[in-house]
Chain A
Amino acid sequence: MTAATLAMMKDAAATRLSRKRTAAYAVMALIGLYLAYVFFAFDIPGLAQRARMDNAVTLLSDSWSYKTHVTRDHRSGAISYAIEGQRKGAYPEGERPEWVSGDGDAVTVELKNGHSLRLLPGNVTEYRYPGTDPVTIRLMDDELVVDVIGPAPDWITLNPRRVGITTEGGRVTITRSKTEVFRYFPGWELFFFTLDSPYHGHGPLDILFGERIDPDRPNIAGAWHDFWYNPMWLHAKVAWAIFETMLMAFLGTFGAAIIALPLAFLAAKRFAPLMAVRFGMRRIFDFIRGVDGLIWTVVLSRAFGPGPMTGALAILLTDTGTFGKTFSEALENVDDKQIEGIASTGANPVQRYRFGVLPQVTPVLLSQILYLFESNTRSATIIGAITGGGIGLLLTQALQTQQDWEEVSYYIVLVVLIVMAMDWFSGWLRARLIGGRAG
């Protein structure tokens, strides 16, 4: 090899390298341009103004904590105690949290970090911020008046109709009709028993091995009943919703597989000698897949009304298209040798299918079915939110009230656990049935 050819080759290599590098830079520039376009098309600069950071804060704090409301009615002067301010979480008559003390004349509410508050007669509220003089808020001539020396501290918002106090100790809202005090606690309160259940406040050991708590019922049965029909967390309803979601995925996926299998034979070149049939079947599958789950869901919920059947049928219809396509492809890739081998033993056509074709395609079909089953558990949540069934419906309802964030996070945890369990289960089943590596 002469020096000249070497130099020529080097040149050629350098040109190719630089051309490739230019192409790489061009692709990167295009991606950058596209990102810039989307940045403005989606109005990301304006996002900062539209974003409700206070919502994010409520969401984050409420999802892992709860608050107990102490409410004084300004007309009757009566004081009530309720967890999350809900009737279902109200303390029974004569009971109140242990951080509330005093009687009719002056009720003292201990808040966190040394903060405290006194509810005095005549609709007067006295807030004690540690290290400062108490602040008094009174209702005079239907207007709220705050007694404070000098400028009002920054943790208090003043308005003749509404006074708000937000500190690290808790939150107070005073309007003309009532005074509300909120004290926050970590955890999901009343998850097991509501306050009206006799089992509230008893540990699991107490219930399992202790003395009978409710004289009318055995401990385990009574505790299970009160837990399962807990009016705040509705465990029975949630469990049913989860079952409904999984039912939709199960019926949709396996129903589709049963319908698609015979149709796939009609669409496979090897088994459907008639070109017209094959072509027609394939276009039907393409059409079903093209219309997409969303439109099928919309159309079907018009005919069948809301519920799990509609969701199951929507999944079934969409997946029939997907399965039809993938099954027929699997059938076309069948190896001829095994069929010929079976045929050489004098097998009739049915036997040839049974022993020549089915053993070859079963693993492929099974793994496709399990894969879609797994992804349909996720889709069933979304479809449930549209058709009104299952955990998807509960989730959207809880989100729409914009209050029960602890329930939202509970549902999210449940959904994630189900999907991960399904993931694991289908991987295990695939490994058992097909003998491959567990996914």
Chain B
Amino acid sequence: MTDISNPSHLRQMQSAYLDQARRRRLYGALTLIIFLLLLLPGFHLADSRNAGGFWNGIGHVFDYPAAVLSEAWAKRQELPGHLVKFFPALVETINIAAISTLIGSIGGMLFAFLSVRGLACWPRLVPLFRRMMDIMRAIPEIVVALVLIFVLGGGPVPAMIAITLHSIGALGKLFSEVAENADPKPVEGLASTGASWSQRMLLGVLPQVAPNFLSYALLRFEINIRASAILGFVGAGGIGYELKNAMSWGQGKFDAAAAIFILLFGTIVLFDQLSSSYRNRLVKGDWQ
């Protein structure tokens, strides 16, 4: 052991530590600088590949919102009519998100239980189920949706399947992380009474993890509403599809676009608030 009462030792240690700290700080600063230096040419490159330049466009960012808003204001007495007219499309978008979240949660739960060591029904197949979840997570929703639109035709079903698959992968990963930390004692207790695998999962694990699962599922629902609106824009039904149509009509029909913007904005904010307040209650545990 080093004698720290000896001042020369102490000085040595101090300078070694300071050197190390300085070096680490230098590396950190260098990484940050390289990073920032990468961003600038990156933006420059992206700008040069863009149809309209950044500096030309920056002045016109508010042109479109201003045109939409002024036209919507001029025709404000027609706005309630539009809101009513596009409401069914909004319901479809919400339905796509809800059903995908529902099936995605059930599927994700199944995958999570099958891919946690100690809980899995077939322990040898754990890596297989994990890779399946990875692939479901990795395939972007738009790929599945576009291929399915080609086969099944436009409408809500391709979007539903695409978002469901992604939700199973994404929720499965989060759920399995929660289930890994579940207390094994109830499961062992149930196993000693001769309970089957599904009974052990439903009665032993699920009650422990339900609040966390529900909270993740609600977060997924928020994400899925946005995703289903976006998929509508590429042809899969719902409010996104109406938005695309309203936009292609161009000037003179901006009031319809404005109505859709309002509906979409309102829905997203509403469900964000609802789910975040409910999630807060779930996490604090005072919801019963």
Q: Which residues of A contact B64 (CB under 8 A)?
A: 299, 302-303
**Is B147 an interface residue when CB atoms closer than 8 A count as contact?**
yes
CB of B140 within 8 A of CB of A378, answer yes
Binds A, one of B116-124, B155-163, B193-201: B155-163
Q: What's the least CB distance linking B147 to chain A, in Å? A: 7
**Is B71 an interface residue when CB atoms closer than 8 A count as contact?**
no
Q: Which residues of B contact A293 (CB under 8 A)?
A: 226, 230
Q: Which residues of A contact B45 (CB under 8 A)?
A: 247
Binds A, one of B9-17, B49-57, B72-80, B181-189: B49-57
CB of A396 within 8 A of CB of B234, answer yes
* B interface footprint on A9-35 (CB within 8 Å = 1, 0 otherwise): 000000000000000000000010011
CB of B47 within 8 A of CB of A309, answer yes
Q: Which residues of B contact A395 (CB under 8 A)?
A: 142-143, 146
Q: Which residues of A contact B53 (CB under 8 A)?
A: 304
**Is B34 an interface residue when CB atoms closer than 8 A count as contact?**
no
**Is A382 an interface residue when CB atoms closer than 8 A count as contact?**
yes
**Is A251 an interface residue when CB atoms closer than 8 A count as contact?**
yes
Given A43-B155, A50-B152, A312-B43, A385-B138 contact (CB < 8 Å): no
Q: Which 7 A-B pairs have the closest CB atoms?
A: A307-B50, A305-B51, A305-B52, A309-B50, A304-B57, A302-B64, A303-B57
CB of B226 within 8 A of CB of A292, answer yes
CB of A307 within 8 A of CB of B151, answer no
Chain A residues numbered 377-413 whose CB sits less than 8 Å from any CB in chain B: 378, 381-382, 385-386, 388-389, 392, 395-396, 399, 402, 408, 412
* B interface footprint on A253-269 (CB within 8 Å = 1, 0 otherwise): 01100100000000000
B138 in complex: contacting residue of A31, A59, A250, A420, CB < 8 Å: A420
Instruction: Select from chain B the residue with minimum beta-carbon distance to A388.
Output: B51
Q: Which residues of A contact B233 (CB under 8 A)?
A: 294, 386
Given A35-B99, A293-B226, A308-B50, A399-B146 contact (CB < 8 Å): yes
- How many Å lie between the Cα of A55 and that of B147 in the bound state? 10
B265 in complex: contacting residue of A291, A378, A416, CB < 8 Å: A291
**Is A217 an interface residue when CB atoms closer than 8 A count as contact?**
no
Q: What's the least CB distance linking A142 to chain B, in Å? A: 36
B146 in complex: contacting residue of A247, A248, A310, A396, CB < 8 Å: A396
* B interface footprint on A146-159 (CB within 8 Å = 1, 0 otherwise): 00000000000000
Chain B residues within 8 Å of chain A by Cβ, number: 59
Instruction: Select from chain B the residue with minimum beta-carbon distance to A38.
Output: B99
CB of B63 within 8 A of CB of A303, answer yes
**Is B110 an interface residue when CB atoms closer than 8 A count as contact?**
no
CB of A295 within 8 A of CB of B264, answer yes
Given A31-B102, A299-B64, A47-B151 contact (CB < 8 Å): no
CB of A381 within 8 A of CB of B234, answer no
Given A399-B147, A416-B138, 4 other A-B residues pairs in contact with their CB atoms under 8 A = A290-B268, A308-B50, A381-B143, A392-B142
**Is B46 an interface residue when CB atoms closer than 8 A count as contact?**
yes
Q: What's the least CB distance linking A172 to chain B, in Å? A: 25
Instruction: Select from chain B the residue with minimum beta-carbon distance to A316.
Output: B43
CB of B140 within 8 A of CB of A381, answer yes
**Is B256 an interface residue when CB atoms closer than 8 A count as contact?**
no
Q: Which residues of A contact B36 (CB under 8 A)?
A: 258
**Is A56 an interface residue when CB atoms closer than 8 A count as contact?**
yes
CB of B243 within 8 A of CB of A298, answer yes
- How many Å lie between the Cα of A47 and that of B247 in the bound state? 28
Given A304-B52, A399-B150, A247-B138 contact (CB < 8 Å): no
Q: Which residues of A contact B139 (CB under 8 A)?
A: 412, 415-416, 419
Given A294-B233, A304-B50, A423-B134, A42-B247 contact (CB < 8 Å): no
- How many Å lie between the Cα of A386 and that of B55 in the bound state? 22
A55 in complex: contacting residue of B54, B92, B150, CB < 8 Å: B150
* B interface footprint on A275-303 (CB within 8 Å = 1, 0 otherwise): 00000000000100111111100111011
Q: What's the least CB distance linking B235 to chain A, in Å? A: 10
Instruction: Select from chain A the residue with minimum beta-carbon distance to B35.
Output: A254
Given A251-B43, A309-B54, A382-B142, A47-B272 contact (CB < 8 Å): no
Given A293-B230, A294-B226, A412-B143, A55-B269 contact (CB < 8 Å): no
- How many Å lie between the Cα of A244 and that of B48 in the bound state? 12
Q: Which residues of B contact A313 (CB under 8 A)?
A: 54
Q: What's the least CB distance linking B149 to chain A, in Å? A: 8
CB of A50 within 8 A of CB of B160, answer no
CB of A309 within 8 A of CB of B142, answer no
Q: Which residues of A contact B1 (CB under 8 A)?
A: none
CB of A306 within 8 A of CB of B51, answer yes
Q: Which residues of A contact B39 (CB under 8 A)?
A: 251, 254-255, 258
**Is A41 an interface residue when CB atoms closer than 8 A count as contact?**
yes
Q: Which residues of B contact A378 (CB under 8 A)?
A: 138, 140-141
B61 in complex: contacting residue of A59, A303, A420, CB < 8 Å: A303
**Is A51 an interface residue when CB atoms closer than 8 A count as contact?**
yes
CB of B102 within 8 A of CB of A305, answer no
CB of A42 within 8 A of CB of B143, answer no
Interface centre among B39, B52, B226, B268 (most CB of A within 10 A): B52
Q: Which residues of A contact B151 (CB under 8 A)?
A: 51-53, 55-56, 59
Given A42-B95, A420-B138, A52-B50 contact (CB < 8 Å): no
Q: Which residues of B contact A291 (CB under 8 A)?
A: 265, 268
- How many Å lie between the Cα of A50 and that of B36 in the bound state? 52
**Is A44 an interface residue when CB atoms closer than 8 A count as contact?**
yes
Interface centre among B58, B247, B269 (most CB of A within 10 A): B269
CB of A42 within 8 A of CB of B160, answer yes
Q: Which residues of A contact B160 (CB under 8 A)?
A: 42
Q: List 9 A-B contacts (CB under 8 A).
A: A38-B99, A50-B153, A59-B151, A244-B49, A310-B50, A312-B43, A395-B146, A416-B139, A423-B138
Q: What's the least CB distance linking A314 to chain B, in Å? A: 11
Given A290-B272, A396-B234, A38-B95 contact (CB < 8 Å): yes
